[in-house]
C-alpha cells in the first residue's frame, strides 16, 4: 500500500507540474502576441501625426490629416492585429500554403494555381482608379512600416515569413472583401455590387 501511495503522489505531482508548465507556456505565447496599444510609434512615411484610437472592442479608429496618412495608419493597425491572417490569405491566393502545412493543403494550392487567382488579382491593379491605387500603396506602406520596425512579437509571422506587401498583393484582398468595397479611394460599407 505504501508503494502505491508513493507512486500515486509522484504521478499526481508530475501531472500538476506538466499542467503548470503548459499553462505558463500558453500564457507566454499569448502575451507576446498581443500588441501594445498604448505605445507611441515613430514611423517614416507620414506627412503628419496619425492617431489610432481603439474602442472597448479593440476596433481601431484612425485620425489623420490626409487620406494617405489614414490609410497608412490603417495598414499599420491591421499589421499589428492581423498579420498572420494577411500572410495566410496571401499564401492562399498564391497557392503556397503547402510550403508551411505540407501535403494536407496541396489540393488547395493546386486549385488556386490553376485558377491563377494571384496573377489575375495583381493584373487588376492596372484597371483601378489612381485614387484607389494611392490608397492601396499607402496601406501597404503602413503594413511594411510595421514589418520593417521589427515589432512582430507573436510566433505566427515568424513561421510564415514576412515578405513586404505591395499594392498588387492588396488587389486580391480588395476583391475578396465581404462587407466593404473600395470606391474612388474610400472604403464604404455596403454590399458589393
The predicted model scores a pTM of 0.69
Per-residue pLDDT at 168: 60
Alpha-carbon distance values, 111 to 47, 124, 147, 174 (Å): 43, 20, 30, 21
**pLDDT at residue 189 above 50?**
no
Per-residue pLDDT at 180: 39
129-160 residue pLDDT tens: 999 989 999 999 998 888 887 666 655 555 55
Residue 139 has a CB neighbour count (10 Å cut-off) of 25
Enumerate the β-bridge partners of residue 183. Answer: 186
Query: What mean pLDDT is predicted for residues 103-115?
Result: 93
C-alpha–C-alpha distance, residues 179 and 192, integer Å: 7
Query: What mean pLDDT is predicted for residues 159-179?
Result: 53
Amino acid at each position: 500500500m505504501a508503494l502505491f501511495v508513493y507512486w500515486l503522489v509522484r504521478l499526481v505531482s508530475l501531472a500538476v507540474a506538466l499542467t503548470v508548465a503548459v499553462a505558463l507556456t500558453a500564457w507566454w505565447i499569448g502575451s507576446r502576441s498581443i500588441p501594445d496599444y498604448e505605445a507611441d510609434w515613430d514611423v517614416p512615411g507620414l506627412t503628419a501625426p496619425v492617431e489610432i484610437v481603439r474602442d472597448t472592442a479593440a476596433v481601431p479608429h484612425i485620425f489623420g490629416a490626409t487620406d494617405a496618412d489614414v490609410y497608412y495608419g490603417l495598414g499599420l493597425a491591421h499589421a499589428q492585429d492581423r498579420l498572420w491572417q494577411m500572410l495566410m490569405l496571401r499564401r492562399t491566393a498564391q497557392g503556397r500554403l503547402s510550403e508551411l502545412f505540407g501535403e494536407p493543403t496541396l489540393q488547395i494550392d493546386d486549385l488556386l494555381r490553376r485558377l491563377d487567382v494571384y496573377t489575375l488579382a495583381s493584373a487588376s491593379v492596372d484597371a483601378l482608379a489612381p485614387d484607389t491605387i494611392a490608397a492601396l500603396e499607402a496601406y501597404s506602406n503602413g503594413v511594411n512600416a510595421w514589418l520593417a520596425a521589427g515589432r512582430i512579437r507573436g510566433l505566427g509571422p515568424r513561421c510564415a515569413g514576412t515578405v513586404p506587401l505591395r499594392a498588387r498583393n492588396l488587389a486580391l484582398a480588395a476583391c475578396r472583401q465581404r462587407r466593404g468595397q473600395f470606391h474612388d479611394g474610400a472604403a464604404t460599407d455596403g454590399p458589393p455590387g
